[in-house]
């Protein structure tokens, strides 16, 4: 199998290449592009690969622009950091998507789906199928509006706090608090699970059961036994060090590197 990767994040590219080598014997990655422009140039000047892995958000725009500039004759497996881009449009077209960070078992499932599709259809994907997919994906793709501010009840008064003022959130028993950059500790009437849906994942990360942190609040990262990580936050936490589990450590480091 010959594959081509369109991905603008170095860590994401390296992870995908590593996983492909682990799950698919004899696969050859012909090359990669990190922008719409370089992807179009490669596709125009090279034979169609067996499969293309395509990130939706690229350095110079969304990957849909590629289809306007060049005829894509290969099946596509889309990759994305945002699950709202995926939905069911992929499934009904016998083309899959992978949500970052890509998991080994999901990559294996996507490749198995590709092989079944290849056996059933010759050629495996027609240009019309790709165009239909793009149209359906555009219809489902609505940019998610993340929370911009919180109205918090503090005693007998209400206080409006802008999200850019917030360094981290902490769950303490059944209560949840936020800490602002100027070190105010305020009660929030949401759970961490609810907050995780409201906040931009490029800026905030759920690092464990008790904390959601802003990327700029992480002042140091130290290794800990068992593959765990210890975070030092600013403003400082009232409790012990913030620990990231071994299971979440890889995803957290990838998030910090975006």
Domain identity same for 64 and 136: yes
Tokens representing residue 18 in the block: 């590593």
More confident site: 81 or 254: 254
Q: Is the pLDDT of residue 40 over 90?
A: yes
pLDDT at position 96 is: 78
Domain identity same for 128 and 155: no
Domain identity same for 35 and 124: yes
Q: What is the CATH number of the domain that holds 63?
A: 3.40.50.2300
Domain identity same for 129 and 201: no
Q: What is the CATH number of the domain that holds 166?
A: 2.40.50.1020
Q: List the domain range (segments joined by +) for residue 206.
A: 149-256
DSSP state of 252: H
Domain identity same for 157 and 125: no
Domain identity same for 186 and 78: no
Q: Is the pLDDT of residue 100 over 90?
A: no
Instruction: Specify the 3-state DSSP secondary structure of 25.
Output: coil
Residue tagged 């759970």 (tokens): 191
Q: Where is the domain boundary, 140, 159, 177? A: 140
pLDDT at position 88 is: 41
Confidence of residue 208 (pLDDT cuts 50, 70, 90): very high
Domain identity same for 51 and 120: yes
User: How far does CA 174 lie from the centroid of its chain?
Assistant: 29
Q: Is the pLDDT of residue 50 over 80?
A: yes
Domain identity same for 136 and 203: no
Neighbours of 139 (CB within 10 A): 10
pLDDT at position 136 is: 58
Domain identity same for 94 and 68: yes
CA distance 33 to 154: 51
Mean pLDDT value of segment 57-71: 85
Highest-scoring range by mean pLDDT, 41-50, 80-89, 98-107: 41-50
Of 96, 50, 28, 41, which Cα lies nearest the Cα of 70?
41
Domain identity same for 101 and 60: yes
Mean pLDDT value of segment 82-95: 49
Domain identity same for 109 and 171: no
Q: Are 123 and 73 in contact (CB under 8 A)?
A: yes
Average pLDDT, the chain: 84
Q: Are 214 and 204 in contact (CB under 8 A)?
A: yes
Q: Where is the domain boundary, 116, 140, 164? A: 140
Q: Where is the domain boundary, 102, 119, 140? A: 140
Phi first, then psi: what are they for 236, rounded to 5°?
-65, 155
- Among the residue ranges 56-70, 125-139, 176-190, the one predicted with the least confidence is 125-139
Confidence of residue 131 (pLDDT cuts 50, 70, 90): low
Domain identity same for 105 and 226: no
Query: What's the domain count of the chain?
Result: 2
Tell me whether residue 107 is exposed, middle or buried, using C-beta atoms within 10 angstroms of its C-beta: 0 to 12, 13 to 18, 19 or more.
buried
């Amino acid at each position: 199998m010959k594959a081509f990767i369109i991905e603008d994040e170095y860590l994401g590219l390296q992870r995908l290449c590593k996983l492909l080598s682990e799950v698919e014997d004899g696969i050859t990655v012909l090359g990669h592009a990190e922008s719409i422009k370089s992807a179009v140039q490669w596709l125009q000047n090279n034979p169609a690969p067996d499969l293309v892995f395509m990130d939706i958000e690229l350095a110079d725009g969304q990957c849909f622009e590629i289809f306007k500039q060049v005829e894509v004759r290969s099946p596509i497996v889309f990759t994305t950091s945002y699950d709202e881009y995926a939905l069911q449009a992929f499934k009904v077209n016998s083309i899959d998507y992978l949500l970052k960070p890509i998991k080994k078992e999901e990559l294996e499932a996507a490749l198995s789906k590709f092989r079944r599709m290849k056996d059933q259809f010759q050629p495996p994907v027609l240009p019309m199928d790709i165009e239909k997919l793009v149209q359906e994906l555009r219809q489902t793709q609505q940019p998610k509006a993340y929370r911009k501010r919180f109205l918090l009840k503090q005693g007998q008064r209400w206080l409006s706090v802008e999200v850019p003022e917030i360094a981290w959130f902490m769950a303490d028993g059944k209560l949840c608090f936020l800490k602002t950059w100027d070190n105010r500790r305020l009660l929030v009437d949401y759970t961490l699970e609810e907050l995780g849906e409201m906040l931009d994942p490029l800026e905030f990360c759920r690092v464990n059961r008790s904390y959601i942190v802003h990327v700029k609040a992480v002042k140091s990262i130290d290794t800990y036994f068992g593959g765990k990580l210890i975070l030092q936050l600013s403003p400082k936490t009232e409790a012990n060090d913030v620990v990231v589990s071994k299971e979440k450590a890889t995803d957290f480091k990838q998030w910090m590197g975006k």
